[in-house]
Structure 1
Amino acid sequence: MSALPALGTPMPERTKSRLLELVKRHGPLTAQDLAQRLEVSVPAARRHLGDLQEQELIVCRTERPGGRGRPQHVFTLSERGEAAFPKTYSTLCVDVLRHIESLFGEGAVLRVLDARNVELAGRLRDDLAAAGSLGERVQTLAARLDEQGFDTTVEQDGDVWYLTERNCPNLTVARQYPQLCESELGLYLQVLDVPVQRDRRIACGQAACRYRIG
């Protein structure tokens, strides 16, 4: 029989998960607060906090308790840490699009997404303006998509470039509203200003979305 962990020394990954939950529910918290709640030593709590900071899941800031007294370091969730907890954004988005379609007709959803594309295209064009060749523009676009969770790769085949998205952060919405995928394709056409075709789509059950560019 394998030996069980000694009492008061939880397994590291489980401790990190509990630490994130505590910061989420009760934060901001000090290392001392967390050590007491987790029933571990303060140095052990600091080690876990250091790991979570390296993973960009929590951030540290200095504040005075109650607005006065001696400053202390407290820990809160980063945006990435917040994203690790379940959200209902996709459900809300689907509900909003459904009501738009019900109130204004089938074409209204695409018109709303196209209007959003105008704003997105303006931001992306500023980034792409500094890129010279088509390959540089595709690489810059891929970097911006990665920031949004698309997990992209870029490959070249002669004069043609392939942009592959291995994750769809909007999959729940895209499966119910293919207009979202149409809008994405339209956005890439606008900002790259060359022919763009999609030959794979995650929302259709394939492993990735892939765009042929050029």
Structure 2
Amino acid sequence: MTATLTLPPPASTERTKTRLLELVKRHGPQTAQDLAARLEVSIPAARRHLCDLQDQGLLESRTERPGGRGRPQHVFALTDRGEAAFPKTYSSLCVDVLRHIEALYGAGAVLEVLGARNTEIAGRLRPELPAAAPLGERVQTLVAHLTEHGFDAAAYEIDGQWHLIQHNCPNLTVARQYAQLCAAESTLYAELLGVPVARDTRIACGQGTCHYRIG
């Protein structure tokens, strides 16, 4: 009887799968066709990688209407396990601390703690975002700071309004249990930029990005 030697998958295959996960993370739920185009591979090749990633529990398939309209289509999104493959910070410790604060002093105390944190962060960043600077310049400075801290942020302007996108939430475990963290984040951005900030989507709610409208 001849033994069968199982070789590890080629490095290029693993790089393609990693890139595929990064695309879903950055752009949100994607169709196989969209991913094939972004990766510049055939649709059958993309589907093979997607099936492997589903088997590993990193991706899930679901049906969505693009933009809330049109015909339903099958898209691939990150599972919790897939999300965990990307950087997260201080999650379990922070959740434990906030839980104890809430148990000892009430839910309002959590907001007070997050408010004090905002005050400290704003004090550090305010000199880098002077009110006299153009709004676009201040937004891009904030984007650079957020990206440095793991948010994979970007900004763009449409019809005179700025939009801030966060492709990663380094505090996802905390944000899922304490919506106050996301509320404090919006408040901090508005304070630093000196204009109203409204959030349209939230990673902690299962959406692909955190999307803020500025001004």
Which TM-score applies when normalising by structure 1?
Answer: 0.59
Question: Does residue 206 of structure 1 match 2:193?
Answer: no
Identity %: 64
Cα deviation, residue 89, structure 1: 2.5
Match of 1:163, SS state, is strand
1:161 alignment counterpart:
162
Query: Following TM superposition, where does structure 1 have runs of at least 4 consecutive aligned residues deviating by more than 3 angstroms?
Result: none
Q: Cα–Cα, structure 1 residues 165 and 115, in superposed 2: closer, same or farther, change >3 Å?
A: same
Q: Superposition RMSD on alpha carbons, in Å? A: 2.8
Match of 1:153, SS state, is strand
1:182 alignment counterpart:
183
Counterpart residue type for residue 117 of structure 2 = R
Superposition map of 1:28-107 within 5 A: 89-107=90-108
Counterpart residue type for residue 205 of structure 2 = C
Q: Distance in 2 between matches of 1:152 and 1:87?
A: 15
Counterpart residue type for residue 164 of structure 1 = I
Structure 1 runs not aligned, ≥5 long: 6-10, 13-83
Structure 2 runs not aligned, ≥5 long: 12-84
Are the counterparts in 2 of residues 131 and 140 from structure 1 also a CA contact under 8 Å?
A: no
Match of 1:118, SS state, is helix
Are the counterparts in 1 of residues 88 and 172 from structure 2 also a CA contact under 8 Å?
A: no
Number of residue pairs aligned between Structure 1 and Structure 2: 138
Are the counterparts in 2 of residues 166 and 207 from structure 1 also a CA contact under 8 Å?
A: yes
Match of 2:207, SS state, is coil
Task: Provide Cα deviations, 1:59-80, integer angstroms capped at 9, x if missing partner.
Answer: xxxxxxxxxxxxxxxxxxxxxx
Superposition map of 1:106-117 within 5 A: 106-117=107-118
Q: Greater CA radius of gyration, 1 or 2?
A: 1
Q: Distance in 2 between matches of 1:194 and 1:130?
A: 10
Are the counterparts in 1 of residues 88 and 169 from structure 2 also a CA contact under 8 Å?
A: no
Cα deviation, residue 124, structure 1: 1.2
Q: Distance in 2 between matches of 1:168 and 1:87?
A: 7
Q: Distance in 1 between matches of 2:166 and 2:88?
A: 22
Cα deviation, residue 158, structure 1: 1.8
Q: Distance in 1 between matches of 2:179 and 2:88?
A: 22
Using CA pairs below 8 Å that are at least 6 residues apart, which structure has the higher relative contact order? 2
Cα deviation, residue 159, structure 1: 1.6
Q: Cα–Cα, structure 1 residues 190 and 127, in superposed 2: closer, same or farther, change >3 Å?
A: same
Q: Cα–Cα, structure 1 residues 88 and 165, in superposed 2: closer, same or farther, change >3 Å?
A: closer
Q: Distance in 1 between matches of 2:196 and 2:92?
A: 33
Which TM-score applies when normalising by structure 2?
Answer: 0.59
